[in-house]
Amino acid sequence: MPEAANVMDRLVSLAKRRGFVFQSSEIYGGLGSVWDYGPLGVELKNNIKERWWRSMVHEREDIEGLDAAILMHPKVWEASGHLAGFTDPLVDCRQCKNRFRADDPRIKGSPGQPDAQCPVCGSKGMLTAPRMFNLMFKTFMGPVEEAAAVVYLRPETAQGIYVNYVNVLQSSRQKIPFGIAQVGKAFRNEITPGNFTFRTREFEQMEMQFFVKPGTDQQWFEFWREERMKWLVGLGIRAERLRFHQHTPQELAHYAKEAYDIQYEFPFGWQEFEGIHNRTDFDLSRHQEASGKKLEYLDPATTERFIPYVVETSAGADRTALVVMVDAYHEEEVAGEKRVVLRFHPAIAPLKAAVFPLVNKDGMPELSRRIFDDLRKHQKVFYDDGGSIGRRYRRQDEAGTPFGITIDGQSIQDGTVTVRDRDTLLQVRVAADGLAGYLAERLRS
């Protein structure tokens, strides 16, 4: 797919040029599959996370927030099954020393057999038989680097929720069904990372674990499946590029009874960026057993005791940001000129408006600065007085800024300015005094 590949290349280059995403430690040649967010990228990702938090935590009575630490007691990962089972099968090429996932589609033949061919150097019969490799990053706690001091960087945020489930339940006085939501970093020593920020070794998750009475789990699973899809469409992602993929028995994780991925049609194919999982009572039962602490729920209405089932919605903040960028990216022709525009939903656009004095004289810069100073108390806005007005519009189109505010000669006379809409290109005159309200109305939802 040369055309599709080119779209990704152009997006990656735009992301760097305009300050969305930079490679980590670039001046040292970069660190593999670790990325940094620049001034526009951090705004975009924060807006996505805030919107998620608002819809999950603030707008719901039955979900509480949590911010658990990245480092956890190592026994957590024993109980959760990650120490034994969070592994990928790996093969090495004895010729070129590269390492691959055994299921890498580029490998021809069966690794370990004479017919297997290395996808990098092309040697035959040099690929080792698959060996299991744990994806968790290890580090040491305290001054001694010995086995007893090993701790892990969490590979998912969910476990921080499970081990705090009783704390949250008791302190918030919630009753089942209820949920706990968390946004935070997770780390996986991925073997075949790539596709820009799609698969990285450090990333952020937005996870919500919903605790329900066994027997009601199926109904809640359906509920959250629909809710999450609605939320993504509300984020402005084109519905025809979204679909569910139900996990086959072979794909199901060790803890899951049923699972759906939400996939997006990237230029490199349909890929998961969020999952809804019925994790049953697997995690809480394992933690109860391993810690010796009761994690049962006592139903006040029926006095029944049970370990709740968990329905999880697990999204990657970085992957969602990538979906949003890919979906927003458009190349089009306007008045015979090519323009690149990021059509972000205004509510998550990094910059909400840009303020332009038409020329740098005749009182226009002074009025423009006053408008800019007023607007930035309410929204993230940008001031630009460099170059022709057309070029300034184009720069904001590339940044995905929904509104361009131009202060011209008439503005000095009657206090009105023009507001240009990024998508329709229509310009309307609006009283400068009413601009904050005008923007707020269009940025809501």
Q: Which residues bind ligand ATP (CB under 6 A)?
A: 156, 188, 190, 199-200, 203, 205, 272-275, 314-316, 318-319
Residue with Cβ nearer ligand ATP (40 or 186): 186
In the bound state with ligand ATP, the residue whose beta carbon lies nearer, of 221 and 356, is 221
Nearer to ligand ATP, 217 or 274 (CB): 274
Helix (H, G, I), strand (E, B) or coil at 28: helix
Judge whether 136 and 155 are in contact, CB under 8 Å.
yes
- What is the four-CA torsion angle of 378, 380, 383, 387, rounded to 10 degrees? -140
Q: Please spell the DSSP secondary structure of 238-305, one letter per residue.
A: -GGGEEEEEPPTTTS-TT-SEEEEEEEEETTEEEEEEEEEEEETHHHHHHHHHH-----EE-TTT--E
In whole angstroms, the minimum distance from the beta carbon of 203 to ligand ATP comes to 4
By beta-carbon proximity to ligand ATP, the closer residue of 273 and 382 is 273
Here the tokens at position 173 are: 């006085």
Kindly state the tokens that stand for 83: 């120490």
Q: Which is nearer to ligand ATP, 227 or 421 (CB)?
A: 227
Looking at beta carbons only, is 130 or 357 nearer to ligand ATP?
A: 130
| Nearest residue (CB) to ligand ATP, 199 versus 394 | 199
| Least distance in angstroms from the C-beta of 353 to ligand ATP | 30
Least spacing, CB of residue 187 vs ligand ATP, in Å? 9
What is the Cα–Cα distance from 179 to 166, expressed in whole angstroms?
A: 12
DSSP string, 52-79: HHIIIIIS-TTEEE----SB--HHHHHH
* Phi/psi of residue 192, nearest 5 degrees: -115, 70
SS3 state at 336: coil
Q: How many helices (H) and strands (E) does the chain have?
A: 13, 23
The tokens of 165 are what? 């489930």
Residue 261 CA to residue 47 CA, distance in Å, equals 23
Backbone Cα Rg of the chain: 26
Phi, psi of 47 (to 5 degrees): -65, -40
Residue closer to ligand ATP, measured from CB, 203 or 211 = 203
Minimum distance, C-beta of residue 204 to ligand ATP, in the bound complex (Å): 8
Instruction: Quote the least distance from Cβ 154 to ligand ATP, whole Å.
Output: 12
Q: Quote helix, strand, coil % in the chain, to nearest 5.
A: 35, 30, 35
Q: Of 206 and 295, which has the nearer Cβ to ligand ATP?
A: 206
What is the DSSP code string of 126-172? -BPPPEEEE--EEEE-SS--SGGGEEEE-S-SHHHHHTTHHHHHHHH
Phi-psi region of 329 (alpha: psi -120 to 50; beta: other; left: phi over 0): beta
Q: How far is the CB of 131 from ligand ATP (least distance, A)?
A: 19
Measured from the CB atom, the residue of 41 and 275 that comes closer to ligand ATP is 275
d(CA 43, CA 348): 8
Q: Which is closer to ligand ATP, CB of 259 or CB of 435?
A: 259
Tell me 128's DSSP state. P
Least separation in angstroms between residue 253's CB and ligand ATP is 7
Residue, CB closest to ligand ATP: 316
**How far apart, in Å, do the first and last CA atoms of the chain sit?**
36
**Residue showing tokens 């699973």:** 221
The one-letter amino acid code at 342 reads L
Q: 434: which residues sit within 8 A by CB, 6+ positions away? A: none
Judged by CB, which is closer to ligand ATP: 200, or 209? 200
Structure-block tokens of residue 70: 């990245």
